[in-house]
Amino acid sequence: MQKIYNRIIQIAGNVVTVEATGIGYKDLAEISSKTGKSLAQVIRMDGERVYLQVFAGSRGVSTGDKVRFLGHPMRVSFSENLLGRIFNGAGIPRDNGPVLDENMIEIGGPPVNPAKRIIPRKMVRTGIPMIDIFNSLVESQKLPIFSVPGEPYNDVLARIAMQAEVDLIILGGMGLKYDDYLFFRDTLEKHGSLSRSIFFVHTASDPTVECLLVPDMSLAVAEEFALKGKRVLVLLTDMTNFADALKEISITMEQVPSNRGYPGDLYSQLASRYEKAVDFDTAGSITILAVTTMPGDDVTHPVPDNTGYITEGQFYLRNGSIEPFGSLSRLKQQVNGDTRKDHRVIMNRMIQLFADYRSTLEKQAMGFRMAGWDKKLLSYGHDFEQKMMDLSVNMSLEKALDMGWEIMAKHFEPFETGIKSELIDEFWPKK
Amino acid sequence: MVEKRTGKIVGVNGNMVIAEFDDYVVQNEVAYVVHGSERLKSEVIRVRGKKAELQVYEDTKGITIGGDVEFTGELLSVELGPGLLGQIFDGLQNPLPQLAEKCGFFLKRGVYLEALPDEAKWEFTPSAKKGDKVRAGSKLGSVKEGIFEHWIMAPFSLDGEMEIDQIAGKGKYDLKHAVAKLKDSRGNIYKAAMQQTWPVKIPITAYAEKLKPSKPLVTKIRIIDTLMPVALGGTYCVPGPFGSGKTVLQQLISKHADIDIVVIAACGERAGEVVETLRTFPELVDPKTSRPLMERTVIICNTSSMPVAARESSVYTAVTIAEYYRQMGLNVLLLADSTSRWAQAMREMSGRLEEIPGEEAFPAYLETRIASFYERAGFVRLHDGKTSSVTIGGTVSPAGGNFEEPVTQATLKVVGAFHGLSRSRSDARRYPAIDPLESWSKYDSFIDAKQILKVKAILRKGNEVDRMMSVVGEEGTLISDFITYLKAEFLDAVYLQQNAFDKVDAATAEDRQKHAFNVIHEIMEHDFKFESKDAARKFFQRLRQKFIEWNSIEWKTDAFAEKEKECRKYITG
């Protein structure tokens, strides 16, 4: 049954309060005003006062406007017809295609029972050595790219999306610049991937509240496909905009802020989205790659900080390449033991040596004399940066491992690397 | 007979529901919010006038004003009895595998299953007889639970001494069957079943006295056992920024620690990590008992996407189960990962209640809650003279990796050992990334304290030299200082660091640790002479190589002795 009310008693920020009865928590309503119709969601109930968060914003809403409750929470259509389509945060097409309203499913559904998850086992090969060797990406992993604004994070995202072997790509764009949105669309189209992609895009000029819906819409659809056995890759860019939208709403609702104005439940809010990444026992999987821009390159900022505690690692993008320190794939040990037996050794020793190189660089910058060992480290580090870290490097894991041995052999004696003799005998390039 | 007390919903805000009641309510009693056919578990957390504020342990989507609330009069409790080991529960003690059978992939709200199935029958063997004097926690008989003698005990809620009036003979009974009837001095009869319930927020104290923790708990992690040991019945915390290896360290300890039972409370952390534990533990074999590790493990998991309020109850559920097994004379280790998520759950609720916030919006009672949780650990003497313990290890996830934040500070005040993880160590892949200089312990190690002091002095000196070198450069450093630095680095590389992926190196038992430490100690004391710094560096690089290989050779084998001989020969030249 649909009920219509027209007693709006308060408008503050994007939250409208209306007197109504018999309403379910988190139900949807439609507000019709002079500026058009907009959906709104119940976010608090206090006696007869119902607080509604208006998706399109409260601008132009009058106290005499009609509020029609739909009697159900936010939903999205799910079918094969979604493929190749582009929607906004509220699920309305932005590609001039037809509106989809068949087979509606609720968004923000219940969490997966941990007993029905399985340990992820499949490596997702990307062709980027800094990922494949040092921090392998694994199917069903949730991994953000931490980056300052201005780094080519969307390019990395698009490149991984196209090279990764998945059945389906869902892009959730939050606060995207319009040209970034066009970049994603055109890149995927050029590579013929658009037909297996679904976009939910909120651009920077769209109403804030719609931004909050993007991850839930994307993940609800991804979940349905995964249950049908599909391997889905969800790209979320940029989650900092999502967190900022949360902040805006919670302050409007006069909640006590915890850290730099963000709500106390920021961790839970982010976790309930990221935790949708899953490898189902007897069905498909969801892998989440997200972007979290770090305001002021500060990883202790609440958004990257909370994200780091939720996700299974992170990639730092700095000066146009993936930084080896701090970047981490927590699931890599699930897969890097079965690739090639020198994989783990190369991964550990090259990074340890690179760490020594970095501290030698510091010493050099302070004007110290470089000892023999320091000089070795300097030439090694330089080679590593050019042949491994550069983002333009694109090669298979096996080729990259061989490259690793070559670089080490060029600069060091075998015993200086601290690698077990048995592996040295097998892999050290013979001169 | 008390009539069913009910109320009507008048407000909803996130997971807080406000209900108006007619009769009376009890603070912290369990209530059910009714929505259609669903009944959602919740707890009364504040009462104002005729309005009770409830925290709901489930998603509140769809709840309507005017809906019913039923009050139960009972505090949030857990079921205790045989069958807990090997189980996987959520924060409210719902068995997750059974839930999956019933509801499929997702956690449907409002579905609660019995933690211990009623219909399961257990073979009971009485150990007490009619006429025996008993008190709360006294042994009445036992059942076999896997490798353990699971003692059936007199209810913990009994007051004073009683006499056994009647006790069942050997035979199979279900858990709710009264296996004994107990009579107090006034002739009142109390029934004792194999299963009892206990409110989670109240400690079980049916023991004679609490003793000072003095026996070391061998974790088989060298840096911990040697430099910052944990005692049976003690407490420790592991704070560290994300990615520094908190959870991996907890997993290693849960696998290798020399202990009877491990209770894992995965509180508000990643589901994937729990999955790893619950999928691998049934296959991993405990070297002590040669049975699957799962048979000594209980997992309480309330991962980050599961309802927030149940996160709070999950640590209490876990500690109550740990205390229950302690009552049987067993040593239990509780690993809570992460206590910060639990503190955040308190913060979320405090915010909804519009309480005046303390530091970083955490509630003012944060410290007392943390303190009373860790105080539930202890090394105790039971009434029958046996000793047993609950050891609590909690990880802390400080915001921004900064240990000055409220949860870390409140925890440090009450724990006996501090294993601080450092970002710089984990960046340099020095695992376990426990900072050897910052961390501390108030407990004693099984390794000679004087030797430890000497080794610590070398570590400290080495660190100073390292810092000095970054100012004056290697050429401005004395060769003697440089050798100290190399010694410290060597000690770090071959003793403090451990390779978790190496089958042998991952866990070092007590006697091997003592042996290896002696060898290392000799090297630390050895007076090395080198012509140049490069020669010194090369010497230690090669020595490190030999030791790392030594570390991954099986203890007490010929190869082990041989490698040791090779190392010693290399040192003496």
Tell me what percent of the residues of chain B surpass a pLDDT of 90. 81
Q: What pLDDT is stored for residue A2 in this prediction?
A: 66
Strand-pair category, B291-292 with B285-286: antiparallel
Of A45, A116, A301, the CB nearest to B65: A45
b/e sequence A71-97, b meaning 16+ C-beta within 10 Å = eebbbbbbeeebebbbbbbbbeebeee
Chain A positions in Cβ-Cβ contact with residue B103 (cut-off 8 Å): 113
Of B62, B341, B548, the CB nearest to A25: B62
Cβ B304–A46 below 8 Å, yes or no? no
**Site from A267, A285, A364 to mutate, B interface, most B CB atoms within 10 angstroms:** A267
Q: Which residue of B has its CA nearest to A117?
A: B275
b/e sequence B450-478, b meaning 16+ C-beta within 10 Å = ebbeebeebbeebbebbeebeeebbeebe
Which two structure tokens, joined as six digits, stand for A275? 């935790």
A385: contact with B, CB 8 A cutoff: no
Looking at residue B493, the DSSP 8-state letter turns out to be I
Chain A positions in Cβ-Cβ contact with residue B467 (cut-off 8 Å): none
pLDDT at B125 over 80: yes
**Class in CATH terms, B83-113+207-441:** alpha beta
CA distance linking residue B55 with residue B45, whole number of Å: 7
Of A110, A271, A359, the CB nearest to B108: A110
- Parts of chain B belonging to CATH 3.40.50.300: 83-113+207-441
Instruction: Tell me the pLDDT band of B1, cut-offs 50, 70 and 90.
Output: very low
Architecture of domain A75-335: 3-Layer(aba) Sandwich (3.40)
Architecture of domain A3-69: Beta Barrel (2.40)
Of B13, B241, B305, the CB nearest to A111: B305
Residue B499, classified by CB atoms within 10 Å of its CB into exposed (0-12), middle (13-18) or buried (19+), is middle
Q: Is B429 left (phi over 0), alpha (psi -120 to 50) or beta?
A: left
A425: contact with B, CB 8 A cutoff: no
Q: What is the pTM of this model?
A: 0.91
Of B62, B304, B501, the CB nearest to A344: B501
Query: What CATH number does domain B121-194 carry, 2.40.50.100, 2.40.50.140, 1.10.3720.10, 3.40.50.2000?
Result: 2.40.50.100
Q: What pLDDT is stored for residue A358 in this prediction?
A: 92
Backbone angles phi, psi at A101, to 5 degrees: -140, 20
Backbone angles phi, psi at A279, to 5 degrees: -115, 105
Instruction: Tell me the pLDDT band of B2, cut-offs 50, 70 and 90.
Output: low
Whole-angstrom distance between the N-terminal and C-terminal Cα of chain B?
88
A24: contact with B, CB 8 A cutoff: yes
Tell me what percent of the residues of chain B surpass a pLDDT of 70. 99
**B269-297 tens-digit pLDDT:** 888 888 888 888 888 888 788 899 999 99
- Parts of chain B belonging to CATH 2.40.50.100: 121-194
A1: contact with B, CB 8 A cutoff: no
**Site from A18, A19, A45, A276 to mutate, B interface, most B CB atoms within 10 angstroms:** A45
Architecture of domain B449-572: Orthogonal Bundle (1.10)
Q: Residues A88, A210: contact at Cβ < 8 Å?
A: yes
Q: What pLDDT is stored for residue A1 in this prediction?
A: 53
Q: What pLDDT is stored for residue A274 in this prediction?
A: 96
Angle at Cα A211 formed by Cα A14 and Cα A242, nearest 5°? 105
The helix or strand, by DSSP H or E, that contains position A222, with its residue range, turns out to be helix A208-227
Whole-angstrom distance between the N-terminal and C-terminal Cα of chain A?
81
- Tell me which residue has tokens 């892009």: A171
b/e sequence A312-337, b meaning 16+ C-beta within 10 Å = bbbbbbbeebbebbbbbbbbbebbbe
Which two structure tokens, joined as six digits, stand for A186? 């055109």
**B213-251 tens-digit pLDDT:** 999 999 999 999 999 999 999 999 999 988 888 888 999
**Site from A121, A260, A262, A309 to mutate, B interface, most B CB atoms within 10 angstroms:** A309
Question: For chain A, how many helices (H) and strands (E)?
Answer: 12, 22
Give B525 to chain A, closest Cα distance, Å.
24
Cβ A326–B243 below 8 Å, yes or no? yes
Cβ B470–A363 below 8 Å, yes or no? yes
Chain B positions in Cβ-Cβ contact with residue A312 (cut-off 8 Å): 270, 272
- Parts of chain B belonging to CATH 2.40.10.170: 5-75
pLDDT at B175 over 90: yes
Give B276 to chain A, closest Cα distance, Å.
6
Chain B positions in Cβ-Cβ contact with residue A25 (cut-off 8 Å): 12, 60-64
A296: contact with B, CB 8 A cutoff: no
Show the low-confidence residues of chain A (pLDDT under 70): 1-2, 431
Chain B positions in Cβ-Cβ contact with residue A265 (cut-off 8 Å): 14, 308, 344, 348, 351
Provide the ipTM.
0.87
Cβ B549–A420 below 8 Å, yes or no? yes
Give A289 to chain B, closest Cα distance, Å.
16
- Chains A and B form CB pairs within 8 A to the count of 220
Q: Give B143 or A249, the one with higher predicted confidence.
A: B143
Looking at residue B4, the DSSP 8-state letter turns out to be P
Give A159 to chain B, closest Cα distance, Å.
25
b/e sequence A266-289, b meaning 16+ C-beta within 10 Å = bbbbbbbbbbbbbbbeeebbbbbb
Chain B positions in Cβ-Cβ contact with residue A45 (cut-off 8 Å): 11-13, 65
Average pLDDT over residues B75-93: 94
Cβ B429–A24 below 8 Å, yes or no? no
- Return the domain boundaries, chain A: 3-69, 75-335, 343-427
Q: What pLDDT is stored for residue B24 in this prediction?
A: 93
Q: Which residue of A has its CA nearest to B352?
A: A255
Helix, strand, or coil (residue A395) = coil
**B426-476 tens-digit pLDDT:** 888 889 999 999 999 999 999 999 999 999 999 999 999 999 988 888 888
CATH code of the domain made up of B5-75: 2.40.10.170
Q: Residues B314, B90: contact at Cβ < 8 Å?
A: yes
